[in-house]
Amino acid sequence: MSLKTLFRLLFSADAQEKKLIRSLRYLLGFYPENISVYKLAFSHRSLSLEAEGGIRLSNERLEYLGDAVLGAVVADLLFKKFPLRDEGFLTEMRSRIVSRENLKNLAVKIGVDELLQKDASPGSYRSMYGDAFEALIGAIYLDKGYAVTQKFILHRIIRIHVDLNEIESTEKNFKSMILNWGQKEKHSIVFETIEEDQKTRQIKVRLIIDDKEAATGIDFVKKKAEQIAAEKACKDLGLI
């Protein structure tokens, strides 16, 4: 951004906009050019903003865009960093990095929670901060393009706040996760072995939540089959 453009942006903005511009400069490492997309990124749907024609304005569309861009950048990074690992490993690593819980933590670390405009408590919308983080990525993409967005994700997010080696070495216990969730939310959780293939020796397990089948898992080891079923259920419930 040229100095002339920056002066025009600052002097045409009101006090609230100037504060947002300064905050974004600190957060992003550059001055925004299209401040309106960042305002939208930090507008949670609980505000119920309405534009002409009755259209509700919120950060949900930017969240969709940011999710796609973030996924592409992370996938590219992992593909290059782990050239000998298979697709399953890469998919699992990416899912951990872009999980709802991790994005929420990242949003709080970089101060997105302080910029988010909302009319609801965080408990009302479990993923509001993570959603706003993705919306911010979408706003950067629209404002500056893919290269700048990629640089922001890699150098200001991944390099500083994400330990890839730690994520690689940590195996999530999805069974414990779903059991803890059931205990906390007062749901019945049961793992049941439903069949064992006599030819392949594979074991099929189903996960039952409140007397309804939620997911199944198949593996040669019963514990692994339970983990597979638990992981599917955790994803469906938005726990990961």
What is the set of active-site residues? 67, 134
Half-sphere exposure of residue 47, counting CA atoms within 13 Å on the CB side? 18
Residues 6+ apart with CB under 8 A from 157: 106, 110
- When computed from its CA atoms, the radius of gyration of the chain, rounded to whole angstroms, is 22
Burial of 134 (0-12, 13-18, 19+ CB in 10 A): buried
| Amino acid at the residue 74 | V
Which residue is associated with the tokens 């505000």? 47
Answer for the pair 31, 25: CB distance below 8 angstroms, yes or no: yes
Half-sphere exposure of residue 231, counting CA atoms within 13 Å on the CB side? 15
